[in-house]
Structure 1
Amino acid sequence: METLSFDSSSLDATEEFLSRAYTPMRIGGRPRETGARIARRAVGGLVVDKLHFDYTMAYDAACLGKVCLITLHRGTMVDTTDGRDEVYGPGETFLIAAPDRPYTGELRAARYTITMFDPALLDEVAAGGGHQRGPVSLTGFRAVDPTANRRLGSTVTFLRDQVIESPGAGGLVVATAARHLAAVTLSAFPNSATDGRPGPADSRDAGTATLRRATDFIEENAHRDIGLAEIAAAACVTPRAVQYAFNRHAGTTPLAHLRRVRLAGAHRELRSADPRAVTVTDVAAAWGFAHPGRFAAAYRKAYGTTPSATLRDAS
């Protein structure tokens, strides 16, 4: 895990730190109060930062190359990029800028969370929804409605407090959480994948042979960081064809099947583990389950007992 921390009342030091941690940036204005605090946790391509500025600060920044979400907890932020005058307040989660565009704006005594991830995850999520038309771009900066905003904010909070901050965060847990964040982001913002008509359905390859190749790949690789794109590539078909194959011949989805295989892997490991050496949380995390409560509920539904009972009975 990468960690960074910064606490300073020097504008020059703050500008230097922001330019090094994010993108080349210039701070405008000479505020009287100049306290700035920043804490970063980054792992597996997912970056979550907590920031607190005591003052009003104008900024002029180069492109980030990442999807950068801002969740504002206190104060206001104003986006002035390309002549805009968008004001964001507490409770909003929004896109600070397109990944490949510079941006300008102003912070006003703001406390907020920054969450960043690779734009390629949006492409993967879009491909999984049958919208594989090249790189996906977010075409709006605010969520499409209040419900989408709340869902996105809750996802960021979960990542910040339960995933990134958890001991030993990494591996499948972070990779799964990052894909989930990308999916929620794509559903929350207007975007090029869903604004237009989806591409034609590829049903020709959605046969039992595709299902067999896909399930074999999942069984052999469930312990790795895989998603729909990797499953489709292994089956030598499009992501949409894989989805059709699972729906038609198995009555489920590829990712639901992947979750079941991972749950079975966790079950096997709990049955053979030494309860003095490992915990349920350790096993769940190793198989990509970040939320202990949801893991326990899925486990009980599948096996009629709790994971902790299985671990206690292990021999």
Structure 2
Amino acid sequence: MSAKPGSAERFEAAGSDVDDARELYREAYRIGGMTVEPTAAEFGYRFTSTGDDDLSLRASQVEGRITGASFTQGEYVVSWMTRGEGVSDLLGSPMKFLHGQPAMFANDRPAQFDLIDYRLNMMHFSGAYLEGVAGETEGSVGPIRFDTTFRPSGAGLHRWNASVAAVAGVVYDDDSPALLRAEARRAAAVSLLETFPHLALRPPTEVAVAASARTRTAVEYLVANAHLPIRTEDVAAAAGMSLRSLQSAFRREFDVTPADYLRAVRLDRVRDDLRDADPGRTTVGDVARRWGFGHLGRFAAGYSRRFGEYPSATLASSNTIGTRPRSLG
């Protein structure tokens, strides 16, 4: 716990019991299909976390081997290994941990990992907080998809390390005033956004609230009929608008055309279906065609731009950790 009111919240757990370690990491990282096993005569683990709801600094050290599939949602995690070996995102874009080089965890989808006799440092950012900073500094809206294969080097790595050291000095100091803590959190978020390539994704389309009643009617029609071969003219008629008014309203309120909006809804539906599918009995092509995507090459390109992974990776990772939350889109 914190040393005094207003200081960072602290948590620490350590021991040599395999079952305790398994329970700790399963709860902390929503890990499914997890195995924990010694690699030598003595097994040991230590886990620490210091920070608040917006930003926490964590460290995990294990004398042993841990495997499983984590599911990171509602937050963004950057990590760097200082000892041992490991690989993450085995079902997506495999990422081998390199000592001293930070990398982003996969977000909003399962990522299998394998870690051996390691020490891993991590920064956890609240999703709402980081997306808010991205909105202020970049004008982006909604979730962010990071390139999990990118590793900063040279001047970029030096700036990142300097930022981490400065932020850690503030977070770990219980005498740091609240304003300094807020500035440190923001500096860490800005540094992350400047260091790691990313794509800002619009929120799931159904939760984008239209200002006008007629535009909301158009959105509701699109969502309800996304499985049908509807035309833009059909949407305009359902909303009681002219085609030109409909186009203008979507450009003004969502900065996309009605056709682009419908395509985003269908991509969300494809993602939901792929996540729930049996990889041995379902193909990407079957699901894509079910939602009106006839050209699989263009579909795959659009899918990867929206979700940061190929549809085949989503299908391959389906049902790996049991029941997962469905997207809102």
Q: TM-score, normalised by structure 2?
A: 0.52
Other-structure match for 1:75: 84
Q: Is the 8 A contact 1:43 1:170 kept in 2?
A: no
Superposition pairs for residues 193-272 of structure 1, below 5 Å? Answer: 193=200
Q: Deviations over 1:284-313 (max 9, x none)?
A: xxxxxxxxxxxxxxxxxxxxxxxxxxxxxx
Alignment partners' CA distance in 2, 1:45 and 1:165: 15
Q: Residue deviations 1:168-205, cap 9 Å, x none?
A: 346222221111111111111111149xxxxxxxxxxx
Deviation at 1:25, TM superposition (A): 4.3
Counterpart contact for 1:143–1:188, Cα < 8 Å: no
SS at structure 1 position matched to 2:114: strand
Q: In 1, distance between residues paired with 2:154 and 2:119?
A: 21
Deviation (angstroms), 1:14: 0.5
For 2:101, the equivalent position in structure 1 comes to 92
What SS does structure 1 have at the residue aligned with 2:24? helix
Q: Which amino acid aligns with 1:168?
A: D
Deviates more, 1:88-97 or 1:185-194: 185-194
Q: 1:87–1:129: structure 2 CA closer, same or farther, 3 Å change rule?
A: same
Task: Tell me which residue corresponds to 2:136.
Answer: 128
Using the TM superposition, give the Cα deviation of residue 61 of structure 1 relative to its aligned residue in structure 2, in angstroms. Answer: 1.7
Counterpart check, 1:108 vs 2:154? no
Change (3 A) 1:130 1:104: closer
Residue 156, structure 1, aligned to residue 168, structure 2? no
2: CA distance, partners of 1:47 / 1:174:
12
Q: Distance in 2 between matches of 1:26 and 1:150?
A: 37
Residue in structure 1 matched with residue 46 of structure 2 by the alignment? 37
The amino acid that maps onto 1:42 is G
Alignment of 1:16 with 2:15, yes or no, is: no
**Of 58, 64, 69, the match for 1:60:** 69
How much does 1:73 deviate? Answer: 1.4
Question: Which ranges in structure 2 are unaligned for 5 or more consecutive residues?
Answer: 1-7, 202-329
1:67: how far off?
0.8
- Contact 1:35–1:53 (CA<8 Å) still a contact in 2? yes
Q: Distance in 2 between matches of 1:118 and 1:152?
A: 19
User: CA–CA distance in 2 between the matches of 1:51 and 1:158?
Assistant: 21
2:171 maps to a residue whose letter is: I
Quote how far apart the aligned CAs of 1:58 are: 1.5
Distance in 2 between residues matched to 1:42 and 1:144, nearest whole Å: 24
What's the secondary structure of 1:143's corresponding residue? coil
Query: Tell me, what secondary structure is at the counterpart of 1:82?
Result: coil
Aligned to 1:117: 125
Give, as a single letter, the amino acid of the residue that structure 2 aligns with 1:58: T
The within-5 A match list for 1:270-309 is none
Instruction: Please state how far the C-alpha of 1:93 moved relative to its aligned partner.
Output: 1.0
Contact 1:72 1:92 (8 Å CA) reproduced:
yes
Amino acid at match of 1:152: W
Tell me if the contact between 2:83 and 2:117 (Cα under 8 Å) persists in the aligned partners: yes
8 Å CA contact retained: 2:144, 2:200 = yes
Shift of 1:145: 4.1
CA distance in 2, matches of 1:134, 1:51: 30
Query: What residue identity is the alignment partner of 1:128?
Result: E
Mapped contact 2:86–2:113 kept (Cα < 8 A): yes
Question: In structure 2, do the counterparts of structure 1 residues 86 and 134 end up closer, same or farther at CA, with 3 Å as the change threshold?
Answer: closer
Give the superposition deviation at 1:111: 1.3
Q: CA deviation at 1:125?
A: 3.1
Partner of 2:173: 166
Looking at structure 2, the residues matched to 159 and 95 of structure 1 have their Cα atoms a distance apart, in angstroms, of 18
With over 3 angstroms needed to count, the CA separation of the structure-2 counterparts of 1:170 and 1:4, relative to structure 1, is farther
Following superposition, the deviation at residue 120 of structure 1 comes to 2.7
- Aligned equivalent of 1:289: none
TM superposition score normalised by structure 1: 0.55
CA distance in 2, matches of 1:80, 1:133: 26
The 3 A distance-change label for structure 1 pair 179 and 146 is: same
Percent identical among aligned pairs is 21
Instruction: Name the CA distance, whole Å, in 2 between partners of 1:82 and 1:146.
Output: 29
1:114 alignment partner AA: M
Q: Which amino acid aligns with 2:34?
A: I
State how many pairs are aligned. Answer: 192
Distance in structure 2 (CA, Å) of the matches to 1:149 and 1:192: 20
- Shift of the 40–192 alpha-carbon distance from structure 1 to 2, 3 Å rule, reads same
Residue 190 (structure 1) aligned with residue 214 (structure 2): no
Task: Tell me, in whole angstroms, the C-alpha distance in 1 between the residues paired with 2:105 and 2:148.
Answer: 10
